Structure 1
Amino acid sequence: MQLEKKLLVEIAWEVCNQVGGIYTVIRSKAPAMVDIWGDNYCLIGPMFPGKMPAEFEPTDKYNDAFGRAVLKMQKLGFEVHYGYWLVSGKPKVILINFAPIYSRLHEVKYFLWENHKIDTSSFDELVDQTIAFGETVKQLLEQLAQPGTTTKKIHAHFHEWMVGTPIAHIKKNALPIKTVFTTHATQLGRYLATTTPRFYDILPGVNWEKEARRFNCLSKVLIERSAAQNADVFTTVSEITGSECEILIGRKPDVITPNGINIERFVALHEFQNLHVEYKQKINQFVMGHFFHNYSFDLENTLYFFTSGRFEYVNKGFDLTIDAIDRLNKKMKKSGIDVTVVLFIITKQEYHSINSKVLHSRALMEEVRDTCTAIRKQVGDKLFLASAYNPDQKMPALNDFVDDYWKLRLRRTLLSWKNDELPYIVTHDLVDNHNDQIVNHLRRVNMVNEKNDRVKIVYHPDFISPTNPLFGLEYHQFIRGCHLGVFPSYYEPWGYTPLECIASGIPTVTSDLSGFGDYVLSNLPSEESHGIYIVRRRHNDYTKAAESLANMLFSFVQLTRRERISQRNMVESSSENFDWKYLVKYYRDAYQLIIEDDSVTEEI
């Protein structure tokens, strides 16, 4: 592509604003985009009053096209900031405070209806915010397109409906800007999949407008449809979502742009096996504190599985995971296999605080550890001296080396710690514990951490962070410490969680109803040999899918340690297939379509 005389602006609600998965897409893709476009690339995102993001670094250099457009906007009275996003690649970024638009929001909404038949009359705070932001983006692009700002061709890439309102205006007013619109998940698809059994089977007969009114999301759907139908190029992230777009958005995607990941951020070279052991030890500490007050099991023969993501009980496959784990528990009991599995369910739910008994048990375990450390030091020093002075060359009586104080302290701590209460299945006090779908499902199948259960459950209704007193780990460190990620999604346009596992050298389970799983089936033969297990849900009923997943997990727990290490090596080596340096080619294909259109226009 000839890019010297072209500019690319990429607009997303999640630029410097971590509220969803698109933040990861944009951030991780930035280095590859900077490599291709260089100084001709800039991102645009919202700035919320009083919330200047910590990852934004302002600049005082306004001598390029983007800087000149920012200065023009400032002269018009807008609060617009220009600088760099402090992520890999350090791309240029423009942040806009859209709050002043609220004073004339009724006028903006009127013209959306009058010119583009987008009805935004019903109140929705998020819709109002996105309309206000879209209006400021529209004006910024108009300033950028003025002859005095730049002579370069302008291409604007919009991500998701939240930034989609300027596209129809650009087309209607024939602004010299070529547009690309990417939907990462259709609005209706997410709603319908949550409430509709066999969603993909009934999809061809869906009346989009009727369903949009039923789910009270008509304004969002109209913005999304307008953006897709007026863009010069329309893309989505997977073939499976592409089929959905044809029906629910009314346009077939021109290009499929699968999401990649910045592998350099995860790369550990030969250290990734050592990191697995290091972070597994951290998880071991949590498990001991959580379970060993009642009963213990061999940590050397324990496997850590986890599932995580936004709380969408059906869409993310939490329901299928629990039913499959219940089946796995029964299979392991019947076979007599001497392995324990701990399944961590990591998602975000409202809670009051961490359960006090969970914290108390962990604190007492740490007290046991500290006491044992003190005894070990005392015994070690005395053992050395006794051995050096011992004329009989006999093994000294180690118990004699421990002071009565430490014996009593250890005994008292153990008596305080050990009890008959079953380990809690949930680590926090949930706001609505009685109606929580995960808790109720676990109780319904009686997965409540009984001693004889081969599969134990830890439901952690908050995201993992180093400030969390239960783990003290970053999320990516927690991933590395586990043995398997389980994500059998029912509705997942792409799916970053299994991709993060692969980048961390950890085997993963996904489904053929996720964009990622569908991509793997088409592009990575013999996927299981690469440590990627795919549950077939597209043409299977729920019960068959649950049994299939249970069998996959049962096969995994029977692998030897050597086989698991070998599989992690295969996973780590296959991760390069999903690096942005490779997958960015699909974005290049999308941009090539509008660049070719530029060439045709110039010839005419």
Structure 2
Amino acid sequence: MTKQLLKPDYIFESSWEVCNKVGGIYTVLSTRAKTLQAAFPDRIFFIGPDVWRGKENPLFTEDESALRLWREHVKNEGLDVRVGRWNIPGHPISILVDFSPFYNQKNEIYTQAWLDYQVDSLHAYGDYDEASMFSYAAGKVVESFYRYYLSAQDKVIYQAHEWMTGLGALYVQKKVPEIATVFTTHATSIGRSIAGNNKPLYDYLFAYNGDQMAQELNMQSKHSIEKQTAHHVDCFTTVSEITNNECRELLDKSADVVLMNGFEDDFVPEKSDFASKRKHAREVMLRIANKLLGTQLDDDTLIIGTSGRYEFKNKGINVYLEALNRLTRDKNLKKNVLAFINVPGWVGEAREDLLERMNSDQNYTTPLKVPFITHWLHNMTHDQVLDMLKYLNMSNAADTKVKVIFVPCYLDGKDGILNESYYDLLIGMDLSVYPSYYEPWGYTPLESVAFHVPTITTDLAGFGLWVNSVTGHEGTLQDGVKVIHRTDYNYSEVADTIKDTVSDFSALSDQEITQIREHAASIAEKALWKHFIQYYYEAYDIALRNAEKRMKKQ
């Protein structure tokens, strides 16, 4: 008999990315909100930083009438909040808090955290203070709300995301022990730092001491708040088995539940629009290439791409370029390849010379200078992508079968050259490549397969590992997701496998490609929130039961 899960009456979630689009956590929260809002209508509250104060925030609509009496009450407690709706599917209630007043109490707050939980804030620098003051303010908001509206009869969850919200989770646990706390780390700060500092992470994971590495890499404070929160909350969670290994070794704590990142497919076009949107995307990308390179690439060109944050090694941008270079010499390649790198860099302005060509109907036969990039960068001479293209002696010459184009800006539809959103271009790709070295989950390959675009990823990405568990074997091109085995030391084999996979794809018939695209889409369907939300319910149950035990001891 399956046990009855305890369900919360109210849920509070805090994250730096509530109504504030920064990275992947925004996708996690904003796509999941609809599912939770349906299950707990207006009893889930998202708490974010009011970093848009005084400016128009396109992601938040304030509602002066919402929670009006509490808002007046909370002012007397020295808290400045705005209440409204997050402009995402589900439109959940959001509370944005101004955390700046707490800087004056910073030393007292840090001292208390040390006395209560041995959180070491002595070595803080950079964004630590900002995140901690927000986190503390968020904790105060929940305490105030609970005292004003709720009682011990209500089952309440407080879920905090990343080290940046740890201080608030510990504050809530101390000040409002009736609330059950959940902490989710999406990537350990120290694991990301080890990988980012070019140290081998995986082969030596068992031998690393998290505290010692934090000292070596000057990460003591972030590591400390993350570790202490993981150990003290009622339920500690992470987003994939690969990150759970990190937590076990570097935080000395395994997750109680793995909360895999789902998504909603409401941003994927309807079947009736799919073909026309795909055709349009391909026309845009081929037109850009032909104007920039002075070529006449046609629709038979194989269009591939990578995207995401500009983490050259962690996201595998380096090995993608290496594979493309090897592909130029591959005798089995049956088509021209147009390879995009859609990764925001230190972008300057849109290229005037390219714009001029874009506005002309002329067919050009000569390339523009620097025929690899659509926008000028502020650091043209010190950019890792351009440096590696130069090092590999890539040319984009008319006679080479592989052309590479770096789009170094956010694809928000107003970049000045492509003027299309990321998803409106993604749909036109034939194949995507995300050969990550460090990737706790990996939304980019998941979004790709949702658009029926088969993808190449690795088993060092949480998503890649999950695909292997779904297929029951190492994902293949035929499955729609090719999962490459990646280690600290097999860079060259990974580059060869990418090269071979693209080459194999170029030889497939239309019928075979259609089948692969259908398999890709069916893998995406298995990752919808309606399937993954169950893990959250398990986490709530564990947290509520542990909070009950905690209260009995007090």
Q: TM-score, normalised by structure 2?
A: 0.92
Q: Does 2:50 correspond to 1:54? A: no
The worse-fitting range, judged by mean Cα deviation, of 31-40 and 89-98 is 31-40
Identify the match of residue 583 of structure 1 among 521, 532, 541.
532
Partner of 2:423: 476
Partner of 2:310: 311
- In 2: Cα distance, 1:422 partner to 1:137 partner: 51
- In 2: Cα distance, 1:603 partner to 1:97 partner: 35
Shift of residue 428, structure 1, vs aligned partner: 2.5
Partner of 1:383: none
Q: 1:197 to 1:2 in 2, by over 3 A?
A: closer
Identify the match of residue 511 of structure 2 among 556, 562, 565.
562
Partner of 1:327: 326
Q: 1:351 to 1:4 in 2, by over 3 A?
A: closer
Shift of residue 47, structure 1, vs aligned partner: 0.5
- In 1: Cα distance, 2:501 partner to 2:530 partner: 32
Q: Does 2:28 correspond to 1:28? A: no
Deviations, residues 458-491 of structure 1 (Å, cap 9, x unaligned): 0111121211232121110110011111000000
Alignment map for 1:91-490 (pairs within 5 Å): 91-122=92-123, 124-146=125-147, 149-150=150-151, 151-173=153-175, 175-292=177-294, 295-297=295-297, 299-331=298-330, 334-335=331-332, 337-363=333-359, 366-368=360-362, 417-419=364-366, 424-490=371-437
- In 2: Cα distance, 1:264 partner to 1:253 partner: 30
Native 8 Å contact 2:172 2:179 kept in 1: yes
Letter matched to residue 243 of structure 1: N
- In 2: Cα distance, 1:301 partner to 1:250 partner: 52
Could you list the runs of 5+ residues in structure 1 that have no partner in the other structure? 369-413
Shift of residue 85, structure 1, vs aligned partner: 0.9
- In 1: Cα distance, 2:121 partner to 2:547 partner: 34
SS in 2 for 1:481: coil
Partner of 1:81: 82
Native 8 Å contact 2:293 2:367 kept in 1: no
Native 8 Å contact 2:7 2:155 kept in 1: no
Identify the match of residue 573 of structure 1 among 509, 522, 527.
522
- In 2: Cα distance, 1:11 partner to 1:420 partner: 50
Q: 1:68 to 1:556 in 2, by over 3 A?
A: farther
Shift of residue 599, structure 1, vs aligned partner: 6.7
- In 2: Cα distance, 1:284 partner to 1:481 partner: 10
Q: Does 2:504 correspond to 1:502? A: no
Q: 1:148 to 1:264 in 2, by over 3 A?
A: closer
The worse-fitting range, judged by mean Cα deviation, of 168-177 and 225-234 is 168-177
Deviations, residues 109-132 of structure 1 (Å, cap 9, x unaligned): 222233332232345241111121
SS in 2 for 1:300: coil
- In 2: Cα distance, 1:5 partner to 1:462 partner: 42
Letter matched to residue 74 of structure 2: M
Q: 1:276 to 1:116 in 2, by over 3 A?
A: same
SS in 2 for 1:301: coil
Could you list the runs of 5+ residues in structure 2 that have no partner in the other structure? none
- In 1: Cα distance, 2:272 partner to 2:521 partner: 10
- In 2: Cα distance, 1:421 partner to 1:178 partner: 60
SS in 2 for 1:10: strand
Shift of residue 197, structure 1, vs aligned partner: 4.7
Shift of residue 147, structure 1, vs aligned partner: 6.8
Native 8 Å contact 2:282 2:299 kept in 1: no
SS in 1 for 2:438: coil
Q: Does 2:476 correspond to 1:533? A: no
SS in 1 for 2:143: helix
Partner of 1:387: none
Deviations, residues 493-530 of structure 1 (Å, cap 9, x unaligned): 00110011011111111100000000110123464333
Shift of residue 86, structure 1, vs aligned partner: 1.5
The worse-fitting range, judged by mean Cα deviation, of 16-25 and 517-526 is 517-526
Q: 1:112 to 1:71 in 2, by over 3 A?
A: same
The worse-fitting range, judged by mean Cα deviation, of 564-573 and 27-36 is 564-573
The worse-fitting range, judged by mean Cα deviation, of 566-575 and 337-346 is 566-575
Native 8 Å contact 2:457 2:482 kept in 1: yes
Pick the structure with greater CA Rg: 1
SS in 2 for 1:42: strand
Identify the match of residue 19 of structure 1 among 13, 18, 22.
22
Native 8 Å contact 1:290 1:423 kept in 2: no
Shift of residue 52, structure 1, vs aligned partner: 5.2
Letter matched to residue 498 of structure 1: P
Partner of 2:12: 9
SS in 1 for 2:221: helix
Letter matched to residue 282 of structure 2: K
SS in 2 for 1:264: coil
- In 1: Cα distance, 2:278 partner to 2:433 partner: 17
Letter matched to residue 296 of structure 1: Q
Letter matched to residue 162 of structure 1: M
Q: 1:539 to 1:313 in 2, by over 3 A?
A: closer
- In 1: Cα distance, 2:405 partner to 2:343 partner: 11
Q: Does 2:440 correspond to 1:493? A: yes
SS in 2 for 1:263: coil
Native 8 Å contact 1:145 1:175 kept in 2: no
- In 2: Cα distance, 1:447 partner to 1:578 partner: 38
Native 8 Å contact 2:99 2:137 kept in 1: yes
- In 2: Cα distance, 1:170 partner to 1:423 partner: 55
Deviations, residues 316-368 of structure 1 (Å, cap 9, x unaligned): 0011111111112211xx34x551101101112113323333333323xx243
Q: How many residues were matched structurally?
A: 546
Letter matched to residue 53 of structure 1: N
- In 2: Cα distance, 1:465 partner to 1:147 partner: 41
**Which has a greater percent of helix?**
1
- In 1: Cα distance, 2:415 partner to 2:347 partner: 14
Deviations, residues 423-465 of structure 1 (Å, cap 9, x unaligned): 6112232222222221121112111202221110101111212
Alignment map for 1:545-556 (pairs within 5 Å): 545-556=494-505
Shift of residue 19, structure 1, vs aligned partner: 1.3
Deviations, residues 12-32 of structure 1 (Å, cap 9, x unaligned): 110001112111110011011
Q: 1:147 to 1:300 in 2, by over 3 A?
A: closer
Partner of 1:379: none
Letter matched to residue 118 of structure 2: K
What is the RMSD of the two structures over their aligned residues, measured on CA atoms?
A: 2.4
SS in 1 for 2:340: strand
- In 2: Cα distance, 1:248 partner to 1:574 partner: 32
- In 1: Cα distance, 2:348 partner to 2:370 partner: 19
